Amino acid sequence: MTKRALYTGSFDPMTYGHLDIIERASKMFGELVVGVIVNPNKQPLFTKEERVAMIKAETAHLGNVKVDCFQGLLADYVNANGFNAVIRGLRATTDFEYEIQMAQMNDRLFNEGVESVFLMTNPEYSFISSSVIKEVLSLGGCVDGLVPEKILEEMKKKYCRK
Ligand code: COA
């Protein structure tokens, strides 16, 4: 049976750090779904439709990767869609503290056999987050090499309009 995994987050926008995790996870599972979450606690730069479209374009070379969008409880989405695993990237020890709490809570909520799987972020990208990229670019700093070129263009268009 094909093992299906979910890699979830806000992806506002997707960075090379995320893409690195997606490429590596896609080799580990038969199917990988990138699940863009609508996080009510965050004010996004991009709409969910824009984020999904950008991720689809950047992952088009990966035959077993699909992109979806959801909101609400992660465990509900995971259980309803029959995933075997949820992938998370770890950048630093600070991520670990948050992730272990989430993984242990989710373990109570997931269907039996669903695992949280952690991949270490490529050290080249361990210092970035979507917010830091947005802040630097909005203040005129250079983020070349940290975000795919087309996504960088879309970000620049957004900041020009503001
Ligand atoms: N490279 C670069 N940056 C990375 C990264 C990587 N490999 N991995 C994470 N990041 C960044 C992200 O860009 C994000 O930046 P931002 O905060 O500036 O947007 C930050 O690290 C946090 O990432 P992540 O935790 O993936 O994003 P999130 O907070 O939007 O998503 C969810 C967290 C979706 C997993 C969590 O909110 C959730 O499960 N929500 C659903 C509700 C629920 O079920 N709650 C109960 C959980 S027990």
Which domains are present in the chain?
A: 4-126 (3.40.50.620)
Please identify, by atom number, the ligand 1 atom nearest to the C-alpha of residue 10: 30
Distance from C-alpha of 96 to C-alpha of 55, rounded to nearest angstrom: 25
Of 69, 52, 67, residue with least CA distance to 154: 52
Q: Does the beta carbon of 148 lie inside 6 Å of ligand 1?
A: no
Residue 9 CA to ligand 1 centre (angstroms): 4
Amino acid at 52: V
CA-nearest residue, atom 24 of ligand 1 = 9
Quote the ligand 1 centre to 107 CA distance (angstroms).
17
Q: Does the C-beta of 59 come closer than 6 Å to ligand 1?
A: no
Q: CA–CA separation, 83 vs 115, rounded Å?
A: 9
**Is the minimum distance from the CB of 17 to ligand 1 under 6 angstroms?**
yes
Confidence category of residue 162, pLDDT binned at 50, 70, 90: low
Kindly report the average pLDDT of the chain as a whole number.
96
pLDDT per residue as tens digits for the range 22-69: 999 999 999 999 999 998 888 999 999 999 999 999 999 999 999 999
* Beta-carbon contacts of residue 143 (< 8 Å; ≥ 6 apart): 133, 136, 137, 152
Residue 130: active-site member? yes
Distance 38 CA to ligand 1 centre (A): 11
Question: pLDDT value at position 127?
Answer: 94
6 lines ligand 1 (CB under 6 A): no
Which residues 6+ apart lie within 8 Å of 80 measured at CB? none
- Tell me which of 24, 48, 66, 91 is the catalytic residue: 91
Separation in Å, CA 32 to CA 28, 29, 67, 79, 133: 9, 6, 9, 15, 25
Per-residue pLDDT tens over the stretch 65-119: 999 999 999 999 999 999 999 999 999 888 899 999 999 999 999 999 999 999 9
| Catalytic residue status for 91 | yes
DSSP state letter for 124 = G
